[in-house]
Chain A
Amino acid sequence: MKANVNKPILAVGPFHPLQEEMEYFQLTIDGEIVTDIDMRISYNHRGIERLSETLQFDQVPFLVSRVCGICSASHPLAYINAVEEIAGITPPERALYVRTIINELERIHSHLLWVGLAGHFIGYDTVFMWAWKYREPVLDLLEEITGNRNNYGNVKVGGCREDISDDAIPRIQKELEGIEKKTDMLTKAVLDDPIIHTRLKGVGVLTKGSAVEYAVTGPTARGSGIAIDARYDDPYAVYADLDWEVITQTEGDVFAKAVVRLLEILESVKMIRQAVKKLPKGPIAIEVREIPPGEGCGRAEAPRGETFHYVRSDGGNRPVRHKIRAPSYVNVPSFRASCIGQHIADVTITLAAVDPCYSCTERLAVVDGHSNIVHDYEALLKLSREKTARIKKEIGTPEFKLEDF
């Protein structure tokens, strides 16, 4: 790592026993302003691309669903899209609808998880508790359909493994109503709250130019005014048949990214409703005997952005090369553009704004020029929360209560 003993360094990461990913950020600070950022990843490199070459085409989805617990529907789907492209397979229509429904449920639970954590980082623990409470029924629905709350293992080459039973449909519709109502309430609360405006607007701005240079995707790009979405641009499953919008905001700050995610939940609700209504009868899979030689590029829009899988086949029963690009791989380096020049009190929320793994923000330590630890993670979190409290006092707004809405 670059070490400059004369400048104070803020170390963010790398380890946290509860999280599945580790990242390390080394911030150089001048007073309260971040002047440089250096990153280090791969504390938990599992060699999945190499492992994939040792598995049969049908076994790989189970492996890639474990790339990320939260995106465990997007990765297998991107892989399947690539393999079906090589083999020229079109699965039965019902399977495509089931894939769409599962992927949108995944987006809802992932975005709610982010909203909760973002609230926690700026000192709104009520938002944290409520958002995670609303997320629970989504996980229950996923469990009912696939048998698992995460790592669904539901897609396979040529279709799906588990069908959506007729009994589940009224339950899905009922839960969607609840999710829509609560998300609507959360969105209004965020959009109307003057403290959240002061805290998140103009913070961690990623300009459109930087977004292009760093090739970011997902809500990180859409928050900077770039209307890209694999579901819309390169439609897979049944997204082309549904009526929905790509949500964008132009500001590029943390607030814009929050708005994009909240509105996307509502779009997902809209999509699932239509998909459930249109769900055709019929089989959910066709038999696939072999994968011919060739190469395919599969894409799926994960909650964090475009997931890209490149698969090459030589006609055998295993991929000869399988490249996986998760969205955070391009979103995280954009911190160089969004963190430099920020106050350290705003760093936790700026780092959280691209929705990376939270291990990075769970273990922070400020180190001064003589390597003595001055502040730890709790102190930084305190700084962030104190800033919110200070603004509250200045604005003179009453304590924020979700119950008011």
Chain B
Amino acid sequence: MNMNQEELNNRLSEIRDKLINIEQTMDSRIFLLCEAENSFAVSKFLFEDMALRFIIATGIDSEDCFEILYHFSNDETGCVVTVKAFIRDREDPSIESITPLIPGAEWIEREIHDLLGINFNNHPNMRRLILADDWPEGVYPLRKDFKR
């Protein structure tokens, strides 16, 4: 582990109070677990203060909650830092949008909205991206209970 990586680990302690846990699967793969309401602050810290590059977000339908994973890359060390936000409310899942902060996240948040039915609060342009115009409302093809 080089200096930059150590420095990154040290700086992560600044947002420790917003996190449930920090998991490190390898030297260069860090997962920051947090509740949905803290994800914006954590992402903002990574993007603005740490100057990490936004890679993409992944939406997952876990059994009792939804997970939104915001993947960031520290290109100096090759480290992928992933913010893993848990959305506990399955009836009306929502999370703060990071698009106002990172315009590059616009498409993926719209895509997750289409496929998993998660609302991104304060998203500037929440139109459909992936689904066809005639796709029925309220049917989300990436949810585990979706039947063809």
Assembly CA distance A308 to B75 (angstroms) = 14
B107 within 8 Å of A (CB atoms): yes
> Nearest CB to that of B76 among chain A residues?
A233
Assembly CA distance A230 to B53 (angstroms) = 12
User: Are A212 and B53 in contact, with the CB atoms below 8 A?
Assistant: yes
Assembly CA distance A296 to B55 (angstroms) = 14
B22 within 8 Å of A (CB atoms): no
Q: CB within 8 Å of A: which of B6-32?
A: 25-26, 28-29, 31
| Residue from B75, B78, B130 within 8 A of A235 (CB atoms) | B78
B126 within 8 Å of A (CB atoms): no
A-contacting 9-mer, from B38-46, B88-96, B98-106: B98-106
CB contacts between A and B, total, < 8 Å: 81
User: Are A308 and B55 in contact, with the CB atoms below 8 A?
Assistant: yes
User: Are B78 and A234 in contact, with the CB atoms below 8 A?
Assistant: yes
The size bracket of the interface on B is 20 to 34
| Residue of B80, B102, B130 with most chain A CB atoms under a 10 A cut-off | B80
User: Are A294 and B104 in contact, with the CB atoms below 8 A?
Assistant: no
User: Are B25 and A294 in contact, with the CB atoms below 8 A?
Assistant: yes
B86 within 8 Å of A (CB atoms): no
A137 within 8 Å of B (CB atoms): no
CB neighbours (8 Å) of B103 from chain A are 213-214, 333, 336
Contacts A213-B104, A330-B56, A333-B106; A297 near B129 (Cβ below 8 A):
no
Interface flags for A222-262 (1: CB within 8 Å of B; 0: not) read 00000010100111000000000000000000000000000
Nearest CB in chain A: distance from B5 CB, A: 12
> Nearest CB to that of B55 among chain A residues?
A308
Interface flags for A188-222 (1: CB within 8 Å of B; 0: not) read 00000000000000000000000011111000000
A323 within 8 Å of B (CB atoms): yes
A370 within 8 Å of B (CB atoms): no
Interface flags for A165-187 (1: CB within 8 Å of B; 0: not) read 00000000000000000000000
Nearest CB in chain B: distance from A33 CB, A: 22
CB neighbours (8 Å) of A50 from chain B are 141-142
> Nearest CB to that of B51 among chain A residues?
A212
User: Are A85 and B56 in contact, with the CB atoms below 8 A?
Assistant: no
Contacts A233-B76, A310-B69; A297 near B29 (Cβ below 8 A):
yes
Assembly CA distance A286 to B131 (angstroms) = 41
Assembly CA distance A391 to B130 (angstroms) = 42
User: Are B71 and A45 in contact, with the CB atoms below 8 A?
Assistant: no
User: Are A47 and B141 in contact, with the CB atoms below 8 A?
Assistant: yes
CB neighbours (8 Å) of B141 from chain A are 47, 50
CB neighbours (8 Å) of A212 from chain B are 53
Task: List, sorted by A's number, 22 A–B pairs whose CB atoms are closer than 8 Å.
Answer: A42-B130, A42-B132, A45-B130, A50-B141, A213-B102, A213-B104, A214-B104, A228-B53, A230-B78, A233-B75, A233-B78, A234-B28, A294-B25, A296-B29, A297-B29, A297-B71, A310-B58, A323-B69, A325-B108, A329-B107, A330-B104, A336-B103
Instruction: Identify the 8 closest CB pairs spanning chains A and B, nearest first.
Output: A234-B78, A215-B104, A325-B56, A323-B58, A215-B54, A214-B104, A233-B78, A297-B80
Binding site for B on A (CB under 8 A): 41-42, 45, 47, 49-50, 85, 212-216, 228, 230, 233-235, 294-297, 299, 306, 308, 310, 312, 321, 323, 325, 329-330, 333-334, 336
Q: A41-B129, A308-B71 are in contact. List 15 more A-B contacts (CB 8 A).
A: A42-B129, A50-B142, A228-B53, A228-B73, A228-B75, A230-B78, A234-B73, A234-B78, A297-B29, A299-B80, A306-B55, A310-B69, A323-B58, A333-B103, A333-B104
